[in-house]
Amino acid sequence: MARPVTILDLQKMRDEGRPITMVTAYDYPTAKMADEAGVDLILVGDTLGMVVLGYDSTLPVTVEDMIHHGRAVVRGAKHAHVVIDMPFGSYQGGWRQAMKNATRIMKETGAGSVKLEGGQRSAETVRHLVEAGIPVMGHIGLTPQSVNQTGGFKVQGKTPRDAVHLINDAKALADAGAYAIVLELVPTALTHMITARVKVPTIGIGAGPFASGQVQVWHDILGMYDDLNPKHARKFANAGEAIRGAVREYVEQVRAGQFPTAAESFYMDERALELIRRMTPSADQDMSEAAQVLAELEEIRADSQP
Ligand code: KIV
């Protein structure tokens, strides 16, 4: 089995110009499928809150949620590096709070690193975590945990002022020791500039083709979540429709008496069956037979001993 991907491997891929692939996962079977398909990184994103738990933002997600789902993903990923999002409220209180929660996430899940949002404002926190031996992935551009400040899921860095701010955010994270930086909803040209100005990998989502790698949300690329339809998310399959179709067929076949068939059922010894019938008489049958039946059952048991 291939060894797990490390942050050094990711840096090497960036240096050699080999695109890095990352996808989200929130449970064991999904992680296993993503891993078997060969992704380099699996992100247990706090998008969990929206695509799995049904909230309308990522804000309600807790450290406990991330640990619960993170552990399942780590069990399913044998090769990919697993990175877990620090949820809203788990690090915004400063580096000490971040240290406590990041340490818990790392210890209790066995993941390879954590991710947190924010550029210059999070740099001090990133520095402390990295100094403590916790690899950190940054996340700038559209940062969904600040959706109440940014006023929605909008492309970031479109004015010269905002673009320079984003470039400085990326530099601050790289200087603080972040091993990679997610760029979410950033114009393609700006992604190109940021990627050329930092030495660590950039991972884009809605940031065009010039990042060192790409990340997408599992449910978006498989057509399993239609509450939002982000422009950047190509549907590589329509699994949602396939699943709905399969479940419809199951319901129809049960209702039509076509499922289960003999081939999908289990059978027992005819003699035992007859004894059971006698042991469980209907109300007007003689219950005195029961002792005799028990004796016969014992006999069957003895006969079937090796
Ligand atoms: O939570 C998440 O899934 C993310 C990706 C959108 C990058 O942060």
Residue 140's CATH number: 3.20.20.60
With a 6 Å cutoff on the Cβ, whether 47 touches ligand 1 is: yes
- pLDDT tens by residue, 77-98: 999 999 999 999 999 999 999 9
* pLDDT tens column, 95-131: 999 999 999 999 999 999 999 999 999 999 999 999 9
Q: Measured in angstroms, how far is the CA atom of residue 304 from the centroid of ligand 1?
A: 58
Residue nearest to atom 4 of ligand 1 (CA): 45
* Packed helices 160-176 and 188-197: angle between N→C axes, nearest 10 degrees: 30
pLDDT at 272: 87
Shared-domain flag, residues 20 and 97: yes
Q: Is 81 helix (H, G, I), strand (E, B) or coil?
A: strand
Ligand 1 atom 2: residue of nearest CA: 45
Mean pLDDT, 10 residues at a time, the chain of 306 residues? 89 98 98 98 98 96 98 98 98 98 98 98 98 98 93 91 98 98 98 98 98 98 90 95 98 96 90 85 61 70 68
CA of 131 to the centre of ligand 1 (A): 24
Cβ-based neighbour number of residue 150 at 10 Å: 15
247 inside domain: no
> Any idea of the CA torsion for 68, 72, 74, 77, to the nearest 10 degrees?
-160
Residue 248 forms part of a structural domain: no
Helix axes 160-176, 123-131, angle to 10 degrees: 20
Ligand 1 within 6 A of CB of 180:
no
Q: 77: CA distance to ligand 1 center in Å?
A: 18
pLDDT of residue 63: 98
Ligand 1 neighbourhood includes 85 CB (under 6 angstroms): yes
Regarding the beta carbon of 183 and ligand 1, being less than 6 Å apart is answered: no
Q: Report the phi/psi class of residue 25: left, alpha or beta, with left for phi > 0 and alpha for psi in -120 to 50.
A: beta
Nearest to 45 by CA among 101, 91, 87: 87
Query: Which ligand 1 atom is at minimum distance from the Cα of 58?
Result: 1
pLDDT at res. 279: 82
Annotated active-site residue 184? The verdict is yes
What is the 221 CA–ligand 1 centroid distance (Å)? Answer: 13
Distance CA 138, CA 122 (A): 9
**Shared domain check, 289 and 226:** no
- Distance from the CA of 132 to the center of ligand 1, in angstroms? 24
Residue 169 located in a structural domain: yes
Residue among 26, 48, 85 whose CB has most ligand 1 atoms within 8 A, to mutate: 85
Which of residues 210, 235, 260 is at a domain's end? 235
- Asked if 168 and 300 sit in the same domain, the reply is no
Instruction: Determine which one of 64, 184, 289, 296 is catalytic.
Output: 184
User: Do 297 and 196 belong to one domain?
Assistant: no
Q: Please state the atom number of ligand 1 nearest to the C-alpha of residue 182.
A: 7
**Nearest-angstrom CA–CA distance, 211 and 85:** 20
Which residues lie below 8 Å from residue 82, measured CB to CB, with a gap of 6+? 31, 41, 42, 44, 70, 73, 74, 109, 110, 111, 112, 113
Q: What's residue 200's pLDDT?
A: 98
Is 262 among the domain residues? no
Q: Is there a single domain that holds both residue 79 and residue 223? A: yes
Q: Of the residues 24, 116, 191, which should be mutated to test ligand 1's pocket, given the most ligand atoms within 8 Å of the CB?
A: 24
Instruction: Quote the pLDDT of residue 3.
Output: 86
User: Which residue out of 139, 202, 225 has the highest number of ligand 1 atoms within 8 Å of its CB and is therefore the one to mutate?
Assistant: 139
165 and 100 assigned to the same domain? yes
Mark which of 235, 252, 278 sits at the end of a domain: 235
Residues 162 and 296 occupy one common structural domain: no
Rg (CA), the chain: 27
Domain span holding position 48:
7-235
CA pair distance 44, 147, nearest whole angstrom: 19
pLDDT at 284: 58
